[in-house]
Chains A and B, each alone.
Chain A
Amino acid sequence: MPRDNSIQHVLIIGSGPIIIGQACEFDYSGSQASRSLREEKIKVSLINSNPATIMTDPVTADHIYLLPLEVGSIVQIIEESIELGRRIDAVLPTMGGQTALNLAKEADELGVWAKYEIRMIGVDIKAIDLAENREAFRNLMGEIGVKVAPSKVANSMLEGKEIAQEIGFPLVIRPSYTLGGTGGGFVHRKEEFDAALDRGLKASPTHEVLVEKAVLGWKEFELELLRDSADNVVIICTVENFDPMGIHTGDSITVAPALTLSDTGYQLMRNLAMLMMRSLGNFAGGCNVQFAMNPETEDVIAVEINPRVSRSSALASKATGYPIAKIAAKLAIGYHLDELRNQITGTTSAYFEPALDYVIVKIPRWNFDKFAGADETLGLQMKSVGEVMGIGRSFLEALQKACQSLENDAIGLGADGKHWKRSEEILDKLQHPSWDRIFRIKDALTLGVSINTIHKWTYIDKWFLEQIQELVTIEKEVKKFTLQTITAELLLQVKQMGYSDLQISHLLGNVTEEDVYQQRKSMGINRTYKLVDTCAAEFGAATPYYYSTFDTENESLVSPRKKIIVLGSGPNRIGQGIEFDYCCVHGLLAIRESGYEAIMINCNPETVSTDFDIADKLYFEPVFWEHLIEIIELEKPEGVIVQLGGQTALKLAKKLSEKGIRIIGTAFKDMDLAEDRGAFSDLLKALEIPYPDYGVALTVEDAVAVAKRVGYPVLVRPSYVLGGQRMRIVLNDDELEQAVLKLLKHMPNNKILIDHFLDRAEEAEIDAICDGEQVHIMGVMEHIEPAGIHSGDSSAVLPPFNLTYEIIDTMVAYAEKLALELNISGLINIQYAIKNGKVYVIEANPRASRTTPFIAKAYQIPYLNAATKVMMGVKKIKDFKFDRKLTGYAIKEPVFSFDKFPNVNKELGPEMKSTGEAIRFIKDLFDPFFRQMYKEKSMYLSK
């Protein structure tokens, strides 16, 4: 059946602010869905309160509503659509995660959809309820003959205890209707049960939990399905969890395709998955099914089913090239799979199952360092804040590339001279998995712990462990050589196993990364690039989605066009999230508009920037020096943009500059001036701009002396960090000493910055564009909270609500002076403190900031587009007419994920902790929401 022509205007519901368990994968799915519907000439209205998303940008949807995700907003949008003669006739709630589904359900219960005659498409509420209600799901599985773990539902403490007695330990508590496993957990012993049950019941909005037998150590698999309204079903991807049952899939290292699964086992799961999806209802769209398999008997049980697109489907889309959300949106408006084309090949059918001739490894990215006191053990509740994906022509290559993408100082899987050597500590880490388990497994193997022992502690399939053992073995071999004696054969073999040049330099000793690089280049060992084409090369594909490996044939043909590379921001983490992906996407579009070829490098599978049709060419690669330089050598771009990808991209500027590669926009030396506290303060002094008194210290003694001079309280922080990492405010010598020692332990030889802290000052910031001649102030924002809370955790009001014109004028004047003096070409963000009517400059960031997308959304001005063209030099500020469309105020409101860490207090300070943000528009300062925020402005201040 071709598309249903009665659908002319669709409302897509977004997922709101980024929280743990619901991240930018829904920006990706929502954006894809919107573009897919617009291809069909369907109008799209979009609601999302998250300003940092691409989905809420005019490039994505026709009508954007940055409103709170509440039924009231939905009604407002519908009524407006009727008033303006563009009636919404359908709502697509499957693209915005649990948040969107819950909102759609609430609106349904209140009769909103019925009242306005709006059809819900792509979903079946009954199916969602069935899938979410553990008891109903279990009963349904019983009816269709699919095995599940023995379990029972409890609505009270008493019921729960009875069930536990019946099932025995270990068991699992799973609260109904929660996100990312919130409130759930394993209970190994009777003594732990009461507290766990209480937490579970409280976490569930329906005061309901499932008490289930724990199938710890069973192998875990996920299948991603798509179904059309004619009931045709395909499996897009099968994902195997490296970490077996017991760790939330969002916190598990995962691999695609499944690597230890026979065809018999796979087909059994495929059949069960289809049976389960069909038993849920008749919806057309995406679906995710999880299974556990007993490795001894190969018995399979169903774990859960999610009848919507999810984090897993975003990963599956990037892993296979098959755009699940895009196709799911087409299916929602009536198309059948066999009526659609495979978008990657352009010639074959969308009704097919992708074949991979590579391996992908996803590793989650955690941020435990931001949550002091948090339980760092991984379990049923998701704790990671982001993820990376590595693609390679072997499991090991993909694994090491994923490690190189993590940005936690890893340069691959170990081989960095930092391995652990104490077996008790390592074994404890194996038993209590945390963010570093994969690294500790390698350490254990290096120490000679057997695969069997590690398997016994972790249940990880021995095939994976044997693979890691191969790394240990080859490292011993490599260590027998020096850079002069190593053979080309061995070096090639090592590169094919994913080792970075930096790792090899550690193994060979006394050589640098650069030495290894030069040596292998001289041996002709170069990266080649392969296409992600959904079909293992069976058919030709035109979509430019590449990854690197060390095989013989290079498929990435270089065009004769002028090119610009945009460096992405890598995995989402606190302090660097989706906002930078928004900036990168706009950068790419601006480059294309300017007639250049836009090339993207990024490794975050959740993002829009890694969608295959945003850039002219996508390299799904670690944002890691070695990978970057080889792409540059191949593509020979005009230059590289580092301003849009946050600190990740910015920190590669130095090496680029040393290699003589042009940085598009502000030059490295000027960016460095802004980042170098000493030089920057000298500049401020010369420009007669006040700044808090400060000093630099390398030791505790220095630090105490500086603090005496500048006066307590002082702000202590390392240089060159992100999101206020390890930043502390201290009040006296003792606290200072502790803080400095801790910093030096984690970051030896770091220059420690000590600033006088402007107690009870007000904070404000400015984002601006500069073309070298003219400075345009994009926005002036005043923070509601006082100084001492990281700007990312502060509520920023645009324009200022309480600052005098005089102060604002002073801020603007300082910004203009600084931008011109720093030779900014492109973006700059400046942070201010205002105390006793005096304006101080605290810092300047010569790049896109967290607030750039917020301002662009609030004023409805495509600022990132303009800024990119300015940094490219193709446009001057005077070429643009910036027309601000804001009445009243816009507030950027930070959103936290503290509920994932029950032992951590919500305490805010100079280190950023929020995971996401929402935008809220208010007419005036009498707004009750604003009044409330203002009243509570100091409530969570830690010091």
Chain B
Amino acid sequence: MKIPAVLLLEDGTLYHGFGCGASGITTGEICFNTGMTGYQEIFTDPSYYGQLLVATHVHIGNYGIYEAESQSASIKIAGLVCKSFNPFYSRKIAGSSIQEYFIRENKVAIEGIDTRSLVRHIRSRGAMNAIISSEITDTDTLKKILLEVPSMAGLELSSLVSTKESYESGDPNAVWKVAALDLGIKRNIVDCMVARGMLVKVFPAKTTYREMKEWSADGYFISNGPGDPAVMDYAIETVKQILEDNQPLFGICLGHQLLALANDIPTFKMHHGHRGLNHPVKNIISGRCEITSQNHGFGVDPEAIKQSAKVEVTHINLNDRSIEGLRLKDKRAFSVQYHPESAPGPHDSRYLFDDFLLMMQEAKGVGVGG
């Protein structure tokens, strides 16, 4: 029999549904992703840490869970809201069902929700905290719990999802070495670099530039991750030092925001963010368009960037003209707001990893194309 469960939003909006996954209570900032594939990759993306994810695709779980496709070692979303949570799956290589997976990871989900109305609500009212409960359904109690949940703005979360110890990935004898600052890095970012022949050493979030430098990397990578970039002084400082030392730098998502902050361009909390696999981006340097995978609730201030003498815009969002990519005018550093490693999502932007490699080669004075 189905267990009744509720979803209560900070503004008092209440949805009734059915509990699935583990039973219990979970809280977080509610956000939605419009992707139609890749639920497992989304659940395990550390950037979703502390968030309740609304899947707009109506069937979740159909092809089960295939461990190799996880983007980190565990489910990072705080909870899942969906229309239909399917314990039955069909995929030969999959190892377990979504139900087994959620139970194993002790994650709470709610199904039977009019997710479309919920998305319309978030779209008009903006991101807010929410609570899912399949245990207590008394709204007054839930409201009290919800009051304790801190706002995403001003929250530092990277150190909670970052690796505790540094580790290497790739061929130990590789020519090109990349030091990656793990603020919540997705597995496929490392894989994309390794696939291009790079050796990647992943460092814990609070590693200083000096510590990383000892490894003598050819380039530095600042990863994606959860939380508000504006309060991440330690990481902003690391980025500043990398730039000061004229080292090649590539940033993705949170890494992009930190690169902006390190150049005195502020970030801001977006109304409800961009999360999906279909966001149109134009590379205004090459003129080419790319369909991108996105997951961000903070953005880079478009006005400040225009005023900046050091930074220029390289990519824009074709829907809302927001800043999707930037580069430094006089240094080897660039970043994008979206996820070129995708997983899930289109592979249109993988060229950015090639660009990063090229940048490291140029920095070393290695001839390009000859």
Contact = CB atoms under 8 A, between A and B. Distances in A.
Contact of B56 (A232, A297, A536, A540): A536
Given A260-B62, A348-B319, A537 B119 contact: yes
Contact of B57 (A353, A354, A356, A539): A356
Nearest to B66: A262
Given A230-B287, A338-B289, A553 B63 contact: no
Interface string A538-573: 111000000000011101000000000000000000
Nearest to A336: B289
Contact of A463 (B58, B90, B119): B90
Contact of B119 (A230, A266, A395, A538): A538
A174 B185 CA distance: 49
B280 interface: yes
23 contacts: A230-B289, A235-B291, A257-B36, A257-B37, A259-B59, A263-B69, A263-B277, A267-B37, A267-B344, A296-B92, A297-B92, A298-B93, A354-B278, A359-B58, A394-B84, A463-B90, A466-B88, A535-B34, A538-B56, A539-B123, A551-B114, A552-B15, A553-B117
Given A296-B92, A348-B319, A553-B116, A355 B34 contact: yes
A261 interface: yes
A231 B288 CA distance: 8
A264 B280 contact: no
Given A352-B279, A352-B319, 5 more contacts: A263-B35, A263-B344, A349-B319, A357-B116, A536-B32
B69 A536 contact: no
**Which 8 A-B pairs give the minimum distances between C-beta atoms?**
A263-B38, A553-B117, A263-B344, A349-B318, A463-B90, A536-B56, A355-B34, A263-B37
Given A257-B36, A258-B37, A352-B279, A462 B90 contact: yes
Interface in A648-679: none
B89 interface: yes
B183 to A, nearest CB: 23
A145 interface: no
Contacts of A26: none
Contact of B280 (A295, A338, A355, A394): A338
Nearest to A397: B58
A352 to B, nearest CB: 4
Contacts of A259: 59, 62
A832 interface: no
A530 interface: yes
A271 interface: yes
Most buried by B among A264, A351, A538, A539: A538
Nearest to A462: B90
Nearest to B83: A393
Most buried by A among B62, B114, B279: B62
A816 interface: no
Interface string B333-350: 000000000111111000
Contacts of A349: 280, 318-319
B137 to A, nearest CB: 15
Contact of A352 (B32, B90, B280, B344): B280
B120 A537 contact: yes
Contacts of A295: 92
Contacts of B347: 267, 270-271
A349 B277 CA distance: 15
B54 to A, nearest CB: 10
A226 to B, nearest CB: 12
A466 B342 CA distance: 31
Interface string B48-70: 00000000111100110010010
B353 to A, nearest CB: 15
B58 A358 contact: yes
A178 to B, nearest CB: 34
Contacts of B38: 262-263
A148 interface: no
A232 B115 CA distance: 32
B282 interface: yes
A395 B62 CA distance: 11
- Secondary structure dominating the interface of B: loop
Interface residues of A, number: 55
Given A266-B37, A357-B119, A537-B120, A337 B289 contact: yes
A352 B66 contact: no
Contacts of B345: 263, 267
Contacts of A348: 280, 318-320
B182 interface: no
A265 to B, nearest CB: 8
A461 interface: yes
A234 B287 CA distance: 16
A321 to B, nearest CB: 13
Given A230-B287, A263-B344, A338-B282, A356 B114 contact: no
B243 to A, nearest CB: 32
A232 B91 contact: no
A105 to B, nearest CB: 31
B276 interface: yes
A230 B282 CA distance: 12
A43 to B, nearest CB: 31
B218 interface: no
A357 B280 CA distance: 19
A461 B123 CA distance: 36
Nearest to B36: A257
Contacts of B280: 338, 348-349, 351-352
Given A230-B287, A234-B291, A261 B319 contact: no
Contact of A357 (B15, B41, B56, B62): B56
Given A260-B91, A357-B57, A466-B88, A553 B36 contact: no
Contact of A263 (B287, B318, B343): B343
Interface string A737-753: 00000000000000000
Given A298-B93, A349-B280, A264 B69 contact: yes
Given A338-B289, A462-B90, A395 B59 contact: yes
B37 A355 contact: no
Interface in A309-361: 336-338, 347-349, 351-359
Contacts of A230: 287-289
A267 B188 CA distance: 14
A439 to B, nearest CB: 22
Interface string B175-207: 000000000000000000000000000000000
Contact of A552 (B59, B66, B89, B117): B117
Interface in B232-290: 276-280, 282, 287-289
A850 B149 CA distance: 66
Contacts of A297: 92
B117 to A, nearest CB: 3
Contacts of B35: 263, 355
Nearest to A355: B34
B35 to A, nearest CB: 7
B59 A461 contact: no
B314 to A, nearest CB: 15
A625 to B, nearest CB: 26
Contacts of B63: 260-262, 463
Contact of B90 (A260, A267, A296): A260
Given A263-B41, A266-B37, A395-B59, A553 B120 contact: yes
A537 B123 contact: yes
Most buried by A among B15, B41, B86, B116: B116
B3 to A, nearest CB: 13
